[in-house]
Structure 1
Amino acid sequence: MTEDIAALVRQLAATERADRREASERLVALGAPAVGHLLPLLREPIGTARSAAESCVERLGEPGLAALRKVRVEGPGQFRATALRVLADTGGADALSPADRAAVERLVRVKLPDEAPDDLPIHAWIAVPGADVTAILAALELHDARPVTTAMGVSAAVDHENSLTEEASDGSETTAYRVFISPEFEGWRLLYGTDYVNENWAQAVEKLSTHCREAHFYVVDEYNGSWVWSVWENGRVTRGYSTYGDPQWEGEPLEFERDLVLDEDDEMYDPEEAEAYADGVRDPEEVASALSIQPTTVGVLDKVGHGWLAVTDPDVGHGRFRGALPV
């Protein structure tokens, strides 16, 4: 029987999809005992075989998770870290044992005081002045805010599952999101949440600018060749640009934009540069550098406080979001 199972595990790396599917079906049919045989594949680098093994564990459901929790307690020792990762990737923090959840929380508390964040992502973010996290949480009606390292927060809000959609009994759908609020850098905090920002940015910036006086939205979409930035004050947009917007520009040029357009009799006058800035500044990173902070510079800026990870739905905790987060 063991040799048959070993053959099925090897078949998960087969070239043909049909062969992999057959092996997966038969391994899942074995139930929780299959998990022990899948551990070597689960420890491999990301690839076809590891993905197939992870899919088997996910399809096994709670019996598969229970088998992984047993590995965390009883070993084999070389697979304990792998078991922890797969538990988080498959079932979220709720799949971890109370001891493992407590260990993660202790590690976060230890790392927070001396954390040195790397650069932050530039695809889409919101910038808010001031360090009042309470005002940000209130403006966006966020819940269950907890301290996190920057690496953990970015991973949760950008790199892993950051929205959960459920269907109610009446057929309607509700979506819960994760939002990361960065530490303070030069008087600004940056907010991330890929799904939340993509689907709710206008409402979010309006609410934040109302509660916090000012808020900015930025997008750098290299794939689609799109630049977007929008500056809001007291619930209203004052200036903005969107590559594919109609119209592209909103509001009047800001002071820093006007300063870039030199008079023709200025010795530094450059006709090409004057033409490029004739309507205003298009590059969101250039705007962020002038008005707030660039995410790609936080690694050299002084950090005040720490980041926070929150959810939009009080009935949906962090534990249901899947993903093994770096600390």
Structure 2
Amino acid sequence: MVMTAVRQDVTAADPPSAPPPAAARRRARRRTYLWSYVYLAPMMVLLLAFVVYPIMASLGYTFYKWDGIGDPSEFVGLANFRQIVNDSIFWRSLGHTFVYAAFVVPIQLVLALALALVLNNKRLRFASFYRTLFFLPVVTSAAVIGVVIQLLVSNFGDSINTLLLNLHLIHQHIDWLGDPHFAMAIIILVGIWHTFGYNLVYFLAGLQTIPDELYEAARLDGAGRIAMFRYITIPMLRAVGVVIVILAVIGTFQIFDLVQVLTSGGPFFATEVVNTYIYHLAFGGSNANAVQPDIGLASAASFIYGLLLIGFSIVQVLVLRSLARRRGAS
């Protein structure tokens, strides 16, 4: 008993272990940062090789008239930029791009939020199956979807026309992808369906971060579903919603393969968007306004389009932040 008490007293009297010196802490932090950079290195290499370098190289090509064969040697200065700015087809394709975004983004976001509210219900059976089902179009290539839609329209277009004629909704047969009035509408509908799953998953992730206690407290206070959606769901989704809107707008401005496969920008430039316009300038095509492929002209168009998108993105972020501040102040 005496020996045990003595050991306890000695143990209690031992001074606490000294904290590691500052140099050791700095070395530990450096090791942590070093491994972080090691993990990021492959992605940075790929980003520099396939994004940054092509952008810088294409900026140099804007000052040359070059068909992509050999080295560029015909220096034209700012002539490519002047030609793009004075080209009505460029501004027309830019307008089509904004029209596509103006329809796709709001319709897609509203539908995605509504479906996310349904799928977020914990009492819904087979919710995981439905989520997978709605996300499947995203993992399918837009080019493959364009080919399938083209085949469907060509094979069943006459049947649809016959049905609409019998219902007296139309007075003559419609060439769905060959009519300037309907081709863009079909591209918009397919675009809404194709990328719908992205926004659905984003909204589901945002809804699952809202604590259930808020809804339970609101129910105890007698709040209905509309009131809970207005005063709980919308405010809690505001930060996530800003990111979703920005990503949705950027995604719609990248539309290319769906248009290229379905209509190639036709008929009569009715569905030409900026990305297909640039493609036709660079590699030629039936809708290109350059007789021969011109990489320099296409690079100038890409540079102008990039500047416009950067400006639009800045304005979009500033407007969304201003709206958020006003709502927070009220």
TM-score (norm 2): 0.25
Larger proportion of strand: 1
Please report the TM-score for the alignment, with normalisation by the length of structure 1: 0.25
Larger Rg: 2
